[in-house]
Amino acid sequence: MSDRPLSVAVIGAGPAGIYAADILAKADIDTSIDLYERLPAPFGLVRYGVAPDHPRIKQIIVALYKILQRGDIRLIGNVTVGEDITIEDLQEHYDAIIIATGSDKDSPLDIPGVDLDGSYGAADFVSWYDGHPDYPREWPLEAKEVAVIGVGNVALDVARILAKHPDDLMVTEIPENVEKGLRSSPVTDVHVFGRRGPAQVKFTPLELRELGKVPDVDVIVYEEDFDFDEGSQDAISSSNQTKQVVNTLTDWVMRDEEFTASRRIHIHMMQSPVEILGDGKVEGIRMERTELVGDGSVKGTGEFIDYPVQAVYRAVGYFSSPINGLPFDEVRGVIPNVEGRVIAPGGDHIPGIYSTGWVKRGPVGLIGSTKSDARETIGHLVEDAQAGKLDHDRDISGVGYEAMTQLLDERGIKYTTWQGWEMLEAFEMSLGEAQGRERVKVVERDTMTAISRGEEHDGKLY
């Protein structure tokens, strides 16, 4: 085995990539780790997938920040692997590559009308209100009545951001273009739909309780949507989280009070989407009433309900994107792997290629799952390195950071660094300070990149 450090590239600077890099840096093996990110800024879905009015969740960034601040993991941002550089480029200069690109698209929903004007993927909307640089600056907020399909936290985030009055978001980091868009919205009613019962929704208790505290927004649930079978009772008795969610929903349905708020969020359960209605644009949604069959799953009853809505947001899950040069499972939306070892179509492990996070296992689980996931992957990488399976003794023409940054310079790629992120963050903090906020996000990619590189920019922030 060579006496130089094992050279490793991690692709994706969200929680999955940063945790994997951190675990590897602390492993019993000498390593040199470079972290690649396609955006000019790190932190992935924590920066661009968490609603701006959830500062507690964003505290995860503090932990990730401390990892990268150490300096033993180098950040190379604003570089798209598969376009700016290839997997082959990385294989030439690194002993191992870890793919941690996450899930960035909406899972498909195959029902008639899904392509109508006014039918949107929730992931796209989240990227808009979180100021993702690769999404349009404007969003068509013209609907008074809106449907959100899905009963996970993303569905709650979408419903809450749509219904919340913009003044109540001004303590957050929302960009100016998002504020302007939300102020123009005429929304009065947001309908959230789940096809199963209260014991099967995927909200976390904290998220659900917070929904009930939004100023001038009433949360309405319906008694006819409450049904529990044996599978539901098992779920309640075996999970404290499920019990808390069911208790919150039950408390709400038992309330005897008048609804007087100017905006309403309706939570509908036991209803499955059948068709999005409209002639060229969304005019309604047709739902089929469902019933529990004993094990917590449901079947249709043949009873249909039409709701007048002018927009539909599909929050039915995330889906990963393929990377040029690597295999991809188009059905599951993941890179094929066995416990993080990426496998070729024939089933053999591709030497030196690993995956972690949602692109490894699919878009399920929270931060705790991401950490355990990374431990499994890094365990196999270290095992392979110690067994001599990573071809560490080969003659590499230029190893790691210096070789790759030289290649990027030759190709005219304006990459960013950790020091550049600290400059961008200071700039965003100064924008926030001028408005009495913690920060205001810069949205425009060229401006983000120029600030991070200490270059002149035109001051265009979004």
Domain ranges of the chain: 6-104+321-415, 105-318
**Token representation of residue 310:** 């002018």
User: Which helix (H) or strand (E) segment is 244 a member of?
Assistant: helix 240-253
Of the candidates 280, 248, 286, 284, the one whose C-alpha atom is nearest the C-alpha of residue 267 is: 248
**Mean pLDDT value across residues 429-451:** 95
Of the candidates 353, 407, 397, 355, the one whose C-alpha atom is nearest the C-alpha of residue 376 is: 355
Distance CA 343, CA 328 (A): 10
Examine the pLDDT at 1 and tell me if it is beyond 60: no
**Mean pLDDT value across residues 317-332:** 95
Examine the pLDDT at 2 and tell me if it is beyond 90: no
Query: Which pLDDT band holds residue 273 (cuts at 50, 70, 90)?
Result: very high
**CA 374: distance to chain centroid?**
17
Q: How many other C-beta atoms can be found within 10 angstroms of the C-beta atom of residue 287?
A: 22
Distance CA 50, CA 164 (A): 16
**CA 78: distance to chain centroid?**
18
Distance CA 339, CA 366 (A): 18
Query: Which pLDDT band holds residue 396 (cuts at 50, 70, 90)?
Result: low
Of the candidates 303, 304, 200, 182, the one whose C-alpha atom is nearest the C-alpha of residue 242 is: 200
**Mean pLDDT value across residues 332-338:** 96
Examine the pLDDT at 21 and tell me if it is beyond 60: yes
Matching fold, domains 6-104+321-415 and 105-318: no
* pLDDT of res. 297: 96
State the average pLDDT for the chain.
95
Q: How many other C-beta atoms can be found within 10 angstroms of the C-beta atom of residue 261?
A: 16
**Token representation of residue 136:** 């349009």
Topology of domain 6-104+321-415, per CATH? Rossmann fold (3.40.50)
DSSP-derived 3-state class of residue 329: strand
- pTM comes to 0.93
* pLDDT of res. 56: 76
Distance CA 33, CA 7 (A): 6
Q: How many other C-beta atoms can be found within 10 angstroms of the C-beta atom of residue 8?
A: 29
**Token representation of residue 153:** 């936290």
* pLDDT of res. 364: 83
Distance CA 85, CA 93 (A): 12
**Mean pLDDT value across residues 324-347:** 96
pLDDT per position as a tens digit, 153-163: 999 999 999 99
Distance CA 296, CA 54 (A): 31
pLDDT per position as a tens digit, 112-153: 999 999 999 999 999 999 999 999 999 999 999 999 999 999
Q: Does domain 105-318 have CATH number 3.50.50.60?
A: yes
